[in-house]
Each structure stands twice: as C-alpha cells, then as structure tokens.
Chains A and B, each alone.
Chain A
Amino acid sequence: QKEVEQNSGPLSVPEGAIASLNCTYSDRVSQSFFWYRQYSGKSPELIMSIYSNGDKEDGRFTAQLNKASQYVSLLIRDSQPSDSATYLCAPGGATNKLIFGTGTLLAVQP
C-alpha cells in the first residue's frame, strides 16, 4: 500500500463546476494535511492546510478531513481554467517531513 494515494486523473470538469479531489493516506499518526497546486514546469505551491476533522474553507477552496477514514479531500468551487494544474496531497506527521502523493491532474474546460 502506498503511503499516499491519489487518482492521477486527468479529472476534467467544465468551467464553473465543482472539482472534487480525493486522497487517502496510510500513516495513522498524521496530524497535519496539506494541498499543493503545481503548474506544469513549476514548483508546488501551498494552497490549503487542515489539522482537524471537518471542513475548512478558504475562498473557492474547501478542504475536508476525516482522520478515522484516513481521507482528505479538496473541493474547488466555480472552477476556472486557471485552476488547471496537478494537485498534490501531503500528510505530515511524526516523521517531520511531508510525503507526497503522485498528484491529480485537473483540467478545467472553458
């Protein structure tokens, strides 16, 4: 079992729709969770962090965490073509480092 699993995609959504990105992780002691956005040829950019079970909203982004299910998701409302990128999930825990998934490629169609 991989430490962090994400569907590689591509996930294609029409402009204005909600994009839903999912991630499961295996380390039960993970306490902090991060979503990074990475445009092609660029470095990862932190867009969301979540530490407690439930939802956390920031603008058009909502992160959802369920530690019991070892599941974290990212919703992007009113998707824009500029949201087209790879989204990386990264749990952080006792290991003092982030382990990244392979990322989900999101394509927002105009």
Chain B
Amino acid sequence: DTGVSQDPRHKITKRGQNVTFRCDPISEHNRLYWYRQTLGQGPEFLTYFQNEAQLEKSRLLSNRFSAERPKGSFSTLEIQRTEQGDSAMYLCASSSLWSKEAGALTGELFFGEGSRLTVL
C-alpha cells in the first residue's frame, strides 16, 4: 500500500494522559499536514511540514500539541495532558509541491485513514 498510513487508528485515553500519533506519508511527497476533525465540521488545519521544517502552526493550536518530522519522512503528533475537548479524528495528509496538470504549486492533499481519539 503506497498511501498515507496512520497509527493507531483508535485511541481511548483518560484525561490528563499523553498520546502520540504517527503518520507515514506517500514516499515521494515532501509536504505533510495534520488536521483535526470533529463531528459535523470540516477538517481544521493544525500544522504542516515541508521536508523536516515545520512551516506553520495554527494560532488556535494549544501548546499542549507538538508535532515533529525529524528526517523529513514520518511525522508524530503528540498531545500532552489530554482534555475531553481533544476528542476528535486526527487526520494526516501529504502532498507534493507540484502538479503536472496545474504546472505550479497546488495543494492536492491525500489523506490517511485518520486516528480517532477519545478522551474519557
């Protein structure tokens, strides 16, 4: 399977615990994105990397959230001291900088299956 893979698919934790999600992007993609989605809402941007550099973080993102992409390949998203409001689907997506069709920077994102977090 050459798509985006995420692990774990489901995580149930107690409030106050730390959790970590992993994302393996499509191998030739140099951009990697994290989104969060709650019921009835569209995906909400959290952060993105170009290779190993974290280029943007959402201003809404609590300092309890941290993401890394140490070698420009897989990425991890850690949530410290989880709260019930953190319960959501955490989506990882990857993209390449260029599209043959557009001939320019585009933004086609390809999503993984997501990691569903439930905080009790």
Contact = CB atoms under 8 A, between A and B. Distances in A.
Interface string B34-64: 0100001111110010000001100000000
Of all A-B residue pairs in the complex, the 6 with the closest CB atoms, nearest first, are: A92-B107, A100-B42, A43-B111, A43-B114, A100-B43, A51-B102
B91 to A, nearest CB: 6
B33 interface: yes
Contacts of B45: 97-99
Interface residues of B, number: 28
Given A34-B108, A92-B107, A97 B33 contact: yes
A32 B107 CA distance: 7
A46 B42 contact: no
Interface residues of A, number: 24
Given A51-B102, A97-B33, A102-B41, A45 B111 contact: yes
B112 interface: yes
Contact of B107 (A4, A97, A103): A97
B107 A88 contact: no
A103 B41 CA distance: 7
Contacts of A99: 45
B22 to A, nearest CB: 15
A96 B48 contact: yes
Given A49-B101, A102-B40, A43 B113 contact: yes
B91 A98 contact: no
15 contacts: A32-B107, A34-B107, A42-B114, A44-B43, A45-B111, A46-B110, A49-B106, A88-B42, A88-B43, A90-B42, A92-B106, A95-B56, A97-B56, A98-B107, A98-B109
B50 to A, nearest CB: 8
Contacts of A32: 99, 102, 106-108
Interface in A18-44: 31-32, 34, 42-44
